[in-house]
Amino acid sequence: MLFFKKNLILRIGTVVILVEFLVLTSLGLFYTQRFSHEVDRFLEDNIRLPGELMNRQLLKYESVSDRDVMVDLVGEEFETGSVIGADGRIYYSFQPEYVGKNIFTVSGINPDTLTETTSPTLVRNNENNKEILLSITPVTAYEGAKPFFFVLIKAGTKASQIRKKHIAALFIFGSAFCIMLTSMVIIIYSRHLVTKPLNKLKQSADALSNGELDVLIPPDRGDEIGSLASSFSDMRDSICQKIQELEDANSTSKEREGRLRALVSALPDRVVLLDWEGRYLDVSEADHDSLRFGKADLLGNRIQEMYDTSLSDRALDTIRRTITTGQSQEMEYEMDALTEHVWFECKTSRIGDESGENGTIVWVARDITYRKKIEDNLTKAKEKAENASLRLQELDQTKSALVSSVSHELRTPLTSLLGFSRLILKNFSKNFWPMAKENHTLLTKGSQIIENLNILIHEGDRLTRLINDILDLNKIEQGYTEWRDEKTHPAILVQKAVNAVSGQFNDNPKLTLLTQIDEGLPDIVVDNDRLIQVLLNLLTNAAKFTMAGTVTLRASSPQTDLIRLEVADTGPGIPYSEQERIFEIFHQAGEYGKADDRPRGAGLGLAISREIIAHYHGTIWVESEIGLGSTFFIELPAV
């Protein structure tokens, strides 16, 4: 068995023999069955032939008595033949003594066999332990008529069986010869072209393993063994090259080691090697004159022996976690020096892959005392800043409370002033103004009084709006605003805003208000009054600063989950530098404030609008060019 495992040729030959055996066995069985079938079919065709010839009137009935004729037609297997009438009587027979007798008494043929036979039939029987083949062919006057004769031919199958055995034996011996011949050729060919070259390659490989790098590696061939030999040769050359490279690398490594030691010695950090027990294996020569222990004091000793328990326990835990996990660890620690407390920051790294008790680490310690002092100062500054921030928050709350209180306090007298001003204007216009029409002096004074009262009412209304805006903005910022959210369609909001501002546009015949509402817009959930307040702010501003042209209010849905509202005008435009600042409190665009004939506001409308839109997680912005008008955009999430 061991010889079989070591002999490649024997294994290859065995595999080839098995494959050939399986292939030839399959082919032999296939062709043996095929030729046996052909032999049987040949006998069956021959035994049917006399009956078919007699049925076609090409052979006389009495020919069954002539053995030579029957042997020529059926073959040597012919035994006997008869011509039988439809009544079972024998009219012609190879055995004359059977003529005139009934076939059912002479042979063991079943009477139903003849009466039921309407086409040529073959029957196999055993007689005296011998297989025979019986052919019964009906003879008819015309196609479809009843048979009036039956031609019965009997033949043996012994010769056919012998022929089958000869065919099987031929395949068996032929297959065995092919297997033996192929095996011999493979073994001889393999020994000459495979085994001997491989043995030579083995000897060369053994020589290489013994360090004989100048050994000759045969053979020089173009096949796989030649490729293997070429690979061995390349391997030898590669080994020689690697040896040279290792020698060069060793020389370079020594040089680098010297440079590395010099570099480590020049570092301001202390670099030490420690083992699992915390023992100092090596210590760099860094300048740490302020420390209590130098290199000579530390080498060979353990951390537990040099420093206090709390520091040494933390350091030993860091060392063992580094060795166990292989991951770099960091640690900050404080230690007593000769003059002061010194803070160090260390970083560790495991050397190699050793993760057990034999592992070692590199411990790099850096003096961070100065940084710690900076951090302490920053911590104190942060605390001061936080205290200042709390103070600012308190001041902001005080400011909000003051604004709310002052605004409410202003509302009461302002309401009284506006009420009495309107009452005085009404009474004066109704009772005194008609009496002054005939007196020019009284008419002039009366006109001035009415104008002054109108100015007083107008400025009072403007001051009321300013107070309301301040209160609204303060409530929104403080979170005190009540939001009455409900689902509504954008078209409804647009129409309400247009109705509310239409009077302002009617006063300026040169200015036209247009609306564009896309179909199929989704609903939004908002406080209708608040969103209409935003649209009114934008439409009112557009009407104020657009002397002539158009103001267009559009509603669209650029995305299925988004509603966009746009207010576009053909006014003077807003400078780019002002487009973001106009949303700040009390700020107005510089271009708008230059013309004395343009109305001035408090600068709160856009700030309030931005707070309202932000409450619904939307965005508001403006796009404008000087001389080309402005477009304010509002985007809100749809339902």
Structure tokens at 226: 């030649």
How would you classify the pairing of strands 549-559 and 511-517?
A: parallel
CA distances from 557 to 390, 515, 634, 638 (A): 44, 15, 11, 9
Q: Is the pLDDT of residue 138 over 50?
A: yes
Distance between CA atoms of residues 556 and 562, nearest Å: 9
Provide the 10 A C-beta neighbour count for residue 174: 12
The proportion of the chain whose per-residue pLDDT surpasses 90, expressed as a percent, equals 5
Considering all CA atoms of the chain, what is the largest pairwise distance in Å, rounded to the nearest integer?
Answer: 180
Of 419-433, 486-500, 508-522, give the lowest mean pLDDT range.
419-433
Task: Report DSSP state, residue 302.
Answer: B
Q: Is 633 a residue whose pLDDT tops 90?
A: yes
Give kind and range of the element (H or E) at residue 360.
strand 360-367
Q: Are strands 549-559 and 619-625 parallel, antiparallel or unpaired?
A: unpaired
Q: How confident is the model at residue 596 (pLDDT cuts 50, 70, 90)?
A: very low
| Segment 82-109 mean pLDDT | 79
Q: Which two tokens stand for residue 504?
A: 């302002």
Region 225-239: mean pLDDT is 72
From the number of C-beta atoms within 10 Å of its C-beta (0-12, 13-18, 19+), residue 116 rates as exposed
Burial of 332 (0-12, 13-18, 19+ CB in 10 A): exposed
pLDDT tens column, 474-493: 666 666 667 788 999 999 99
Can you name the residues that pair with 154 across neighbouring β-strands? Answer: 80, 134
Strand ranges inside 55-117, DSSP E: 78-85, 90-93
**Alpha carbons 136 and 84: distance in angstroms, whole number:** 10
Residues paired with residue 330 on neighbouring β-strands, in sequence order: 347
Q: How far apart are CA 156 and CA 72, in angstroms?
A: 15
Angle, helices 528-545/605-615, rounded to nearest 10 degrees: 150
The pLDDT score that the predictor gives to residue 566 is: 92
**pLDDT per residue as tens digits for the range 315-370:** 888 888 888 888 888 888 877 766 677 888 888 888 877 777 778 888 888 778 77
Its pTM stands at 0.36
Q: Are strands 131-139 and 90-93 parallel, antiparallel or unpaired?
A: unpaired
Distances (CA, A) of 177 to 34, 148, 185, 534: 22, 57, 12, 107
Pairwise pLDDT comparison (545 vs 409), residue with the higher score: 545
SS3 content of the chain, % helix, strand, coil (to 5): 55, 20, 25
Rounded to whole angstroms, what are the CA distances from 388 to 41, 382, 385, 402? 118, 10, 5, 20
Q: Is 129 left (phi over 0), alpha (psi -120 to 50) or beta?
A: left
Find the DSSP H helices in 117-223. Answer: 158-190, 196-209
